[in-house]
Amino acid sequence: MMSKAFTRETETEADFEDEVPATVAGVKNYITPEGLQRLKDEFTQLQSVERPKTVEIVAWAAGNGDRSENGDYIYGKKRLREIDHRMRFLRKRMEIAEVVDPNQQKHKERVYFGATVTYLTEREEERTVRIVGVDEARSEAQEISWVSPVARALLSASEGDSVEVHTPKGVERLEVLKIRY
């Protein structure tokens, strides 16, 4: 059995200093109002529900005696670190976010941040994606980051335009069919 003197139960703020991915120099951290609200909702859920519940479990488990073999205590402390890490990450990402409301877009005939774009691939497959911020992109909702190769190719295009996407597999042509905000 390892002495408690050699185990580490807490993480310090310094342990997480470099964990928030920095945006590329000169590149903004754009986000839609809905995306920012999702980050805020997740933060609130973690802060007011998940963390207090986990703290309660850890406190209860700590009162049960030997912590070295107490699964509830060990898992609870690990979960608490995960929650705190996620909260720090969310807080930092929200601090550097620049909200862009797609509804305020003046040139709706072109693809810009927040647009929903339907395009045709070379293989005659029709796809629809929404171009959103890095912190809010969800593939299951057909949302792609504005810095992704497909989004970068589509940005500034108009309906009927043909654009090239450079991917690791090569170059693919896409035809813009429909743009909506």
Containing domain of residue 140, as a range? 102-180
d(CA 15, CA 63): 28
What pLDDT score does 75 carry?
96
- 69 and 133 part of one domain: no
- 124 and 75 part of one domain: no
- 62 and 39 part of one domain: yes
- 128 and 144 part of one domain: yes
> Does residue 10 lie in a domain region?
no
Mean pLDDT of 134-153: 96
pLDDT tens for each residue of 24-83: 555 689 999 999 999 999 999 999 999 999 999 999 999 988 788 889 999 999 999 999
Q: Which of 99, 116, 134 is the last residue of a domain?
A: 99
- 71 and 139 part of one domain: no
Residue 22 has pLDDT above 60, yes or no: no
Q: Which of 99, 132, 148 is the last residue of a domain?
A: 99
What's the token pair of residue 165?
């996407």
Mean pLDDT of 118-125: 96
- 174 and 107 part of one domain: yes
Q: Which of 72, 99, 126 is the last residue of a domain?
A: 99
d(CA 143, CA 45): 23
The proportion of the chain whose per-residue pLDDT surpasses 90, expressed as a percent, equals: 78
Query: In a 10 Å sphere around its CB, with 0-12 CB exposed, 13-18 middle and 19+ buried, how is residue 2 labelled?
Result: exposed
- 171 and 112 part of one domain: yes
Q: How many CB atoms lie within 10 A of CB 29?
A: 16
- 59 and 125 part of one domain: no
Residue 150 has pLDDT above 50, yes or no: yes
What pLDDT score does 26 carry?
59
Mean pLDDT of 120-136: 97
Q: Domain tally for the chain?
A: 2
